[in-house]
A = this chain, B = another copy of it.
Amino acid sequence: MIAEILCVGTELLMGQVLNTNAYFLSRRLSALGVSQYHQTVVGDNADRLEEAYRLALSRADVVVTSGGLGPTVDDITKRVAAKIAGKELVRNPEAEEMLRARFARFNRPMTPNNLSQTMFTPDATLLPNPHGTAPGAIVPMGGGKVVIHLPGPPAELQPMWIDHAEPWLRARSGKTLVSRYIRIFGMGESEVDQCLSDLETGSNPSLSPYCSPGEVLLRATACADTTEAAEALLLPLLEEVRTRLGDVIYAVEENDAGSLARCAVEALKRRGWTIATAESLTGGLMASSMVEIPGASCVVKGGFVTYQTESKTLLTGVPAELIDRHGVVSAEVARAMAEGARERLGTDVAISATGLAGPDGGTPETPVGTVFVGLATAEATRVLPLRLTGDRTRIRTLTMKHAMYAVLKEAERN
């Protein structure tokens, strides 16, 4: 099966909106084993949209559209597809019912132009939209081809895709796909590629890398008639990847919603540990990354942002004399920050970071990117010295990730 993503919206052509829909859909389609060779963006213009539809339908079995289902005159996605299929849009009673129920629930009046959102070709299969007013649809285009209409807002598009479009596509293919997501920290993309290049050429099971700063995510996917058969296909590949990469793998999961911070919070929860933070260059980013995870409140007790030198003494009790002797960016200060935070908040673990995020302030001895991460437990305090590269944002983000990795490993240690 070949699919093509067609995003409709002048706001995308103007750069007013980042196209996260194409990213989300291509990733999900790829995980379903669906091939994709083109993505297109067109504006709210009927002629150009028609041309784009015709081209996409000449190349693909499934054309997935995003945007243009709203109640304004610009919203032409359904109308142009119906024209190409040679059909009329008619009022869909099911869609009307959904819309009336929604407006009643929010106690808002429904305007006549809202009813344009209930117009579909008679053969369309509706996709409910619990997060917005415009239902989506799967529309037959002849020759076994279909167009899948999705709304533009990601908060509406994503659940509609996962809950309704994907099950339809899965049922249609008759095959079962099983994926595992292998999370890697501490090995670069090119090194991972070099290590696994022969495995990445396979198609069933397949292995694909996804990268973000400091991290690599591998998706391993197998396709078979049953879940058991697909899992059996995956097993040797997962074993081989584990053998080759070893300790840099920090999680193997069934979905890709994970993050280092989430794994760290969950490992702390499993262990029944609480954590405190003491942050200089990260300035709250480590604590915030953990608090972002629902349920973090039983793990994250609290923390300190010790950004100015004086705050390190005031809040985490780092002796001024220690700072004078070793400098604020030093292993000694990272150690004292972690120990001070742990003691003051009475937690099982504390994590600290001090360093130079730049762009200014570097010296030959302490260049920008010099960072020390401290980890204090009841037993001992360890300090991790880092030399990071990149801009201020990247150095702060990588520091947070190194810290989360250290917490995760500590919580998983026997």
- Seen from chain A, the residues whose Cβ lies within 8 Å of a Cβ on chain B are 12-20, 22-30, 36-43, 45, 48, 52, 155, 208-211, 277, 279, 281-288, 290-292, 294-297, 300-308, 310-311, 314-315, 344-345, 358-360, 390-393, 396
Contacts and interface: CB of A to CB of B under 8 A. Distances in A.
Most buried by B among A15, A38, A208: A15
Given A14-B30, A305-B305, 14 more contacts: A12-B22, A12-B26, A14-B208, A18-B20, A37-B42, A38-B40, A282-B291, A283-B288, A285-B291, A292-B396, A302-B305, A302-B306, A302-B315, A311-B345
A338 to B, nearest CB: 15
A303 B284 CA distance: 8
Contacts of A18: 18, 20, 23
A25 B36 contact: no
The DSSP consensus for interface residues of chain A is: mixed
B38 A15 contact: no
A143 to B, nearest CB: 21
16 contacts: A14-B27, A14-B30, A14-B36, A16-B208, A16-B209, A19-B23, A37-B43, A38-B48, A277-B305, A283-B284, A284-B285, A284-B286, A284-B303, A291-B396, A292-B396, A303-B305
Contacts of A19: 19, 22-23
Given A12-B39, A303-B304, A345-B314, A211 B282 contact: no
Nearest to A310: B301
A337 B202 CA distance: 57
Contacts of A358: 294
Contact of A38 (B29, B36, B42, B281): B42
Given A13-B37, A16-B211, A24-B15, A304 B301 contact: no
Contacts of A16: 27, 208-211
Contacts of A292: 283, 392-393, 396
Contacts of A37: 13, 42-43, 45, 48
A311 B346 CA distance: 10
Contact of A287 (B30, B307, B315, B345): B307
B297 A288 contact: no
Nearest to A25: B15
Most buried by B among A17, A155, A302: A302
Contact of A284 (B284, B345, B392): B284
Nearest to A217: B16
A300 B291 contact: no
Contact of A290 (B36, B40, B283): B283
A397 to B, nearest CB: 10
A135 B272 CA distance: 53
Given A285-B288, A393-B292, A22 B38 contact: no
Which 9 pairs show the lowest CB-CB distances between chains A and B? A284-B284, A283-B291, A15-B27, A302-B311, A15-B26, A284-B287, A303-B305, A284-B288, A39-B41
Nearest to A28: B15
